[in-house]
Structure 1
């Protein structure tokens, strides 16, 4: 582009540039001449006008001396007009007041303000308006003048002579001649510029053609060395400089550019960087794959990782092919030397190093390695949380060090390797912690309530298959609220830990102890009679009764109330057994505490009656479609905006205890139909009001097994015109996961259809980790008990942090349940959780808020 005009080639550019230069020179010459001519015209006018004035005045003076009359004056004026009539010069004579007073007026042009000013102040005046020059001279009285003009004094203004000359036509004539001359000369610079432009562009085209030919032959960076542009002596000095610049650029490109195959390798490795459950399990295979891929662009003999594992150092060595024994020994010496350099041996003994060798391509042998040329490149990582440290390294030939590009790739591979292995080990450590705290009570380390139901369900099923027996001992500490309120939570925790110790030490090896709630404990006994269960409970009761704990100069004694249920006499389902044992423990408290209650026929019959009444209510609700959806908002923590709603089941006529009714519905096998009624009603309402937000729908394992859920969901979303990307399906843990393959197929099917997938009550049981490991999860909802527990329990907070780190590490969105107040919300925000749900933001409502 030149001044906004498109220039397509060099010749056009040169021609246009010379034309512009020529035009600029002409304008400059024109301007200089114009200014000079106008100055000269003005100068000549000033000189000539003064001469004309003198002549006119002298003539007038001579006539006046001879004694002229009015007729002589008029004749003089008329003669002046005739003499200059056809000339650009105009001369006018004006009488002043002094002359008019004595001799009267004469015919003259009307006076303008400029004439009046001159007649008044007696000063000359000059002006130039568009080259129309005007000069006014005052006629000043001399001593001789006073003889005739008796009313005048010497120096009085007698009149004025005006001389006007229009030089515009002359100046225009000069301009026309200059332009005509320029037009006549214009073809010469145009022709010259076109010729010069063609000459220069031809020379540059030849050079460009040679460079283009050379560049077309470049496939790899080494091809830049072969580029040779000869005959530099023929080129102009400026073009020689350009060629030197191009050659310098090529050298620089070779230094900083990366070959296509290297970039493709990095892309391949980057694509594999997503940390999935498969990668966590098979990270050895990933490093083998990475080693083989790297060898496509660089000669890499081995990779290795050294990581701290307790008091040992775990070393994994990955060879690209089968190594000879001497190479293994050589490498182990190099490795130990590297460990010494990294100061790992300050706390770790060489004898505690555990070394494992792996081969990427077992069908090939590594061949001969030149020991002098072998170079080991390493990187290290040391993390405080979690406590992980180690080094990774790579064995390369010295030829790679000389090739800057490939050496950079090796360095990049090491960074990838340290990130992968470090992340995998960190996540593995987090998973172990999460699995432990998911199953254990953080205060007593007994199994928690969340795991209790899985163990109990498993043992009931096993007892059914093998005609076995089992017993539940439900224990409720007496007066614990009073102890806690009187002596504080710290002492209360000490009491809980002491009771847990007694239970754990007294139980049989095969029995399983649980902390069910704040001051509630459960023992699960297998293959046991009622009498044996009672005897064990009695031993525990007596030991607890004998405890006296000192606090504030007081001794606090303890006691505990217990209820026992036995399979199969007192119930055939986990829920029935638990309810019986729980109710009996409450009766023991009501009858005076520190007692053990065994079930009677009346106790069991009463519980069956209550369950039957609830079963009839839930069946009635289904047949009459009394199921209705309630919606609870889910918000974005960062701005408190609502991102969606969870649809929760409510039953008309039942105002409390909905959880028990749902469990009965599961037991009698009607929960799948209830869920589908709820889902259809929820989607119908959602379509009318909030189609742009997410809708969270709960599904039980039985839904998946017993119904064609994918088909039904597809039909409903089509009927109500709902975007499937806005439907989040929550997999609940209402029963144990028994058929993993069915769940896998279900999840894959719904993901293909576009639905999102969430794990509900994340962290509440071991099976949630199976989901996370096996399924493509989008969102995890951290169990509300952990969220609420963070306010008073640092261990719950640590556990939640571990869950968050695990989820974030796998690129999942995190949702906190049971956010009920500002205090909980503050902690949730500190932990960088994405979404929240709870009474603080809104209670479940039949209307979308």
Structure 2
């Protein structure tokens, strides 16, 4: 490939050679050429004069008629000479001003129109030249259908110079011989200087490009136009600079986007937020610091009429810095007016305790503090948030930090809201909302723990079961509100009369239990007598002005004297309570040897019923409709287990615990599902089916494959099967259970938590498993109209479900008032006897009642 220097030199030499050849030719034909040159010069002058005349006329605004008149006079002026001149109009002029009669253009004129160049043709005695008329700016004022550079016409001149040939031949030959070396020398000199100058300019451009090694170097690539003396080279440099600017802009935009993505990735709510929002916010601050340095974060929350200011530090601040930061926050306009009326409580937290923060003044903090505040409370009661970040020279990053404040506010607010709702859920998951005593699920966990403790320490304890006498009659006469009030007074006496270490629980309805650690039968009897005496003194003023008193029937059983298993012990104590009722109520009963035998015999009878049902495959699937509250139609059924016994249908509540103790629950679950799937296939049912499963069944390795086999056998859509995880037995190995649930989830099955809020496991399940539905514990639903605590729990559960995108089902819907309240709260589905009772047939897309 040739260099520019070589190209210029070669061009110059070639030009010189052509000139020399031309001179040689002219010398050889001196006679003709001398005259030709003269004629050529004359012709050019004539052409130029003609063009200039027309041009000047156009500049002065001559009309078309005037121009035509001028041209006609020019042509006539050569009528009696050896010269002639003709004008040919171009297409654009003819199109605009019309066609006129003119000589047919020859090839020379056509060539001028095509190329836009002047052409000369000579013979031994004549010379013909053509010159194109090219549109210039003044021409455009009249000729609006052309642009600069267009060919508007051609001027042709012809002259006969025969009589001048002899005279001029000698003069031309002599002149060309003298001039020939001069253009050769000038061409070489010009070639040298142009090559050197061009090389200097290209070297500057090369150096500028060579210095670019990163995006930052693109900004330094800037050279003045005066550095390049050639327009073409300067234009190349400008194009390169423009390209560099675009690349710099693209690289900057990409860096900004990546920065924003990395920052937003830190603002993700994880399961840790449920445990402790303060801990989560500390981790959030540390995580943000991995992207952009953030010295502190503050959040303002409003609860009722009080405010809380939480300040999170990246490292340990000193006292003066804390005070300076507080003052800076207090000076934020909106917060200033709020805090003047209601000073907030202030709490400081440090994310990384091991390091100290550099001391800062208020002015520094104010300059670096970015904040956003709202007059109204946002999610989680948050009203303001801010972060302190040092000045960043990268303006785009600073803009990104400003833009995430709203997102950060929503994240921190949501985290705290979830944390508060979780605390409510945790409390009501273990407590009875009416009495604040332990609930039934918690009672069983505590009884199991006490049984293991006593077994481990070779110790004893007693279990007490208490039941109000005639409580249903009191409810019927005075209403549920009065009955609840009586139960609350009863519960207060139970808590305050017993020993400090005694564990009191509300088992259900008007039935209560007390676990008496380290109490044998004799000690238990003494404690129960004291409790009964205290309960007998309870009286509540009824709406009719009467003092209502309630008597109590109490049963006692002691471990290990009366039973050595928790469920058997409860059965003995419960039977003793019923014995007290049979014997006249308002008394205490402790078991005799015969009582124990009868209780254990009852267990044996149930075991036989269960074994017969499995052997004979006599389990019956029942289906309870679950209604969608958006359209009052059946969208779901819950699968329930029943056993026919001596002409009656035994509900699952009567045998489920015994079946689990026997270890046959998984076999019964599979048998029931097979019958239910067969019913689905036969009826063509396409709705969801909720299936109750024991966690222990799910943890059996072969259970998942057996379910998949049944689904394939009956062609059931896996995405329409919802497994309800129950808490009939506590699961110790959550991770193992999670493995099998995840396996079934990947196959397409859905999962629900049954009796949500009735125990610790509900909360653990929703945190650990991919849950699609929660079924809210019926005890909270029953009293939602009259009990603010129950209603608060349901609202908390709905808020938590909404945050986690989980659908909700309300259980035990027993009247229209409760149903309407659930609709107002935003519950998705409802189930209960008011909707419909369980039946052995499936319904679909039916409006059950006019609600």
Shorter-chain TM-score: what band? 0.5 to 0.7
Report the CA distance shift for 1:821/1:220 in structure 2 as closer, same or farther (over 3 A).
Answer: farther
Q: Aligned residue for 1:591?
A: 583
Report the CA distance shift for 1:191/1:506 in structure 2 as closer, same or farther (over 3 A).
Answer: farther
Q: Aligned residue for 1:353?
A: 346
Number of corresponding residues: 635
SS of equivalent residue, structure 2 residue 841 = coil
For the Cα contact (< 8 Å) 1:312–1:354, is it kept in 2? no
Q: Aligned residue for 2:697?
A: 703
Q: Distance in 1 between matches of 2:783 and 2:451?
A: 31
Q: Distance in 1 between matches of 2:500 and 2:375?
A: 40
1:614 is displaced (CA, Å) by 1.5
1:268 is displaced (CA, Å) by 4.5
- Listed as ranges, the matches of 1:211-222 within 5 Å are none
Q: Aligned residue for 1:81?
A: none
1:831 aligns with 2:825: yes
Report the CA distance shift for 1:502/1:689 in structure 2 as closer, same or farther (over 3 A).
Answer: same
Greater CA drift, 420-429 or 577-586 = 577-586
For the Cα contact (< 8 Å) 2:297–2:312, is it kept in 1? yes
1:444 aligns with 2:439: no
1:392 aligns with 2:402: no
Q: Aligned residue for 2:310?
A: 315
- Listed as ranges, the matches of 1:287-436 within 5 Å are 300-305=294-299, 313=308, 315-319=310-314, 329-330=320-321, 332-339=323-330, 341=332, 342-343=335-336, 353-359=346-352, 372=364, 374-380=367-373, 388-389=381-382, 391-399=384-392, 405-436=396-427
1:508 aligns with 2:503: no
Report the CA distance shift for 1:598/1:197 in structure 2 as closer, same or farther (over 3 A).
Answer: farther
For the Cα contact (< 8 Å) 1:382–1:388, is it kept in 2? no
1:272 is displaced (CA, Å) by 5.5
1:566 is displaced (CA, Å) by 1.7
Counterpart selection for 1:610 from 581, 586, 602? 602
For the Cα contact (< 8 Å) 1:549–1:557, is it kept in 2? yes
- What is the CA deviation profile of residues 133-174 of structure 1, one whole-angstrom value per residue up to 9, with x for unaligned ones? xxxxxxxxxxxxxxxxxxxxxxxxxxxxxxxxxxxxxxxxxx
For the Cα contact (< 8 Å) 2:493–2:534, is it kept in 1? yes
Counterpart selection for 2:562 from 567, 570, 580? 570
Q: Aligned residue for 1:141?
A: none
Report the CA distance shift for 1:228/1:825 in structure 2 as closer, same or farther (over 3 A).
Answer: farther
1:452 is displaced (CA, Å) by 1.7
- What is the CA deviation profile of residues 811-837 of structure 1, one whole-angstrom value per residue up to 9, with x for unaligned ones? 211122233443332122111112233
Q: Distance in 2 between matches of 1:303 and 1:190?
A: 77
Counterpart selection for 2:513 from 522, 525, 549? 522
SS of equivalent residue, structure 1 residue 378 = strand
Greater CA drift, 560-569 or 259-268 = 259-268
Q: Aligned residue for 1:651?
A: 643
1:674 is displaced (CA, Å) by 0.9
Q: Aligned residue for 1:126?
A: none
1:516 is displaced (CA, Å) by 2.5
Q: Aligned residue for 2:468?
A: 477
Q: Aligned residue for 1:816?
A: 810
1:776 is displaced (CA, Å) by 2.2
Q: Aligned residue for 2:168?
A: none
Q: Aligned residue for 1:807?
A: 801
Q: Distance in 2 between matches of 1:706 and 1:299?
A: 50
- Listed as ranges, the matches of 1:550-565 within 5 Å are 550-551=541-542, 552-565=544-557
1:750 is displaced (CA, Å) by 2.4
1:789 is displaced (CA, Å) by 2.5
Greater CA drift, 519-528 or 372-381 = 372-381
1:279 is displaced (CA, Å) by 3.6
Q: Distance in 2 between matches of 1:303 and 1:662?
A: 53
Q: Distance in 1 between matches of 2:601 and 2:642?
A: 23
Instruction: Give ranges in structure 1 of 5+ residues lacking alignment.
Output: 1-177, 201-213, 232-242
Q: Aligned residue for 1:12?
A: none
- What is the CA deviation profile of residues 231-250 of structure 1, one whole-angstrom value per residue up to 9, with x for unaligned ones? 9xxxxxxxxxxx9xxx9xx9
For the Cα contact (< 8 Å) 1:221–1:258, is it kept in 2? no
SS of equivalent residue, structure 1 residue 808 = helix
1:620 is displaced (CA, Å) by 0.8
Greater CA drift, 556-565 or 544-553 = 544-553
Report the CA distance shift for 1:627/1:224 in structure 2 as closer, same or farther (over 3 A).
Answer: farther
Q: Aligned residue for 2:254?
A: 260
Q: Distance in 2 between matches of 1:190 and 1:289?
A: 79
Q: Aligned residue for 2:76?
A: none
Q: Distance in 2 between matches of 1:198 and 1:642?
A: 81
1:681 aligns with 2:675: yes
Q: Aligned residue for 1:461?
A: 452
1:346 is displaced (CA, Å) by 5.6
Report the CA distance shift for 1:494/1:742 in structure 2 as closer, same or farther (over 3 A).
Answer: same
SS of equivalent residue, structure 2 residue 655 = helix
For the Cα contact (< 8 Å) 2:273–2:419, is it kept in 1? no
For the Cα contact (< 8 Å) 1:549–1:555, is it kept in 2? yes
1:765 is displaced (CA, Å) by 1.1
1:616 is displaced (CA, Å) by 0.6
Q: TM-score, normalised by structure 2?
A: 0.65
Q: Distance in 2 between matches of 1:755 and 1:537?
A: 50
Q: Aligned residue for 2:616?
A: 624
Report the CA distance shift for 1:491/1:387 in structure 2 as closer, same or farther (over 3 A).
Answer: farther
- What is the CA deviation profile of residues 64-101 of structure 1, one whole-angstrom value per residue up to 9, with x for unaligned ones? xxxxxxxxxxxxxxxxxxxxxxxxxxxxxxxxxxxxxx
For the Cα contact (< 8 Å) 2:490–2:538, is it kept in 1? no
Q: Distance in 1 between matches of 2:593 and 2:376?
A: 61
Report the CA distance shift for 1:790/1:190 in structure 2 as closer, same or farther (over 3 A).
Answer: farther
SS of equivalent residue, structure 2 residue 669 = helix
Report the CA distance shift for 1:695/1:477 in structure 2 as closer, same or farther (over 3 A).
Answer: closer
For the Cα contact (< 8 Å) 1:643–1:694, is it kept in 2? yes
Q: Aligned residue for 1:665?
A: 659
Q: Distance in 1 between matches of 2:356 and 2:328?
A: 28
Report the CA distance shift for 1:496/1:290 in structure 2 as closer, same or farther (over 3 A).
Answer: closer
- What is the CA deviation profile of residues 625-666 of structure 1, one whole-angstrom value per residue up to 9, with x for unaligned ones? 112322333343212344333322222445134311222111
For the Cα contact (< 8 Å) 1:313–1:348, is it kept in 2? no
Counterpart selection for 2:744 from 724, 739, 750? 750
SS of equivalent residue, structure 2 residue 575 = helix
Q: Aligned residue for 1:764?
A: 758
Q: Aligned residue for 2:136?
A: none
1:385 is displaced (CA, Å) by 10
1:738 aligns with 2:729: no
Q: Distance in 2 between matches of 1:275 and 1:347?
A: 34
SS of equivalent residue, structure 1 residue 353 = strand
1:306 is displaced (CA, Å) by 5.2
For the Cα contact (< 8 Å) 2:689–2:722, is it kept in 1? yes
Q: Distance in 1 between matches of 2:363 and 2:310?
A: 22
SS of equivalent residue, structure 2 residue 649 = coil
- What is the CA deviation profile of residues 489-521 of structure 1, one whole-angstrom value per residue up to 9, with x for unaligned ones? 444333222222221111111101122233322
Q: Aligned residue for 2:3?
A: none
Q: Aligned residue for 1:67?
A: none
SS of equivalent residue, structure 1 residue 516 = strand
Q: Distance in 2 between matches of 1:222 and 1:687?
A: 72
Q: Distance in 1 between matches of 2:560 and 2:702?
A: 34
Report the CA distance shift for 1:819/1:198 in structure 2 as closer, same or farther (over 3 A).
Answer: farther
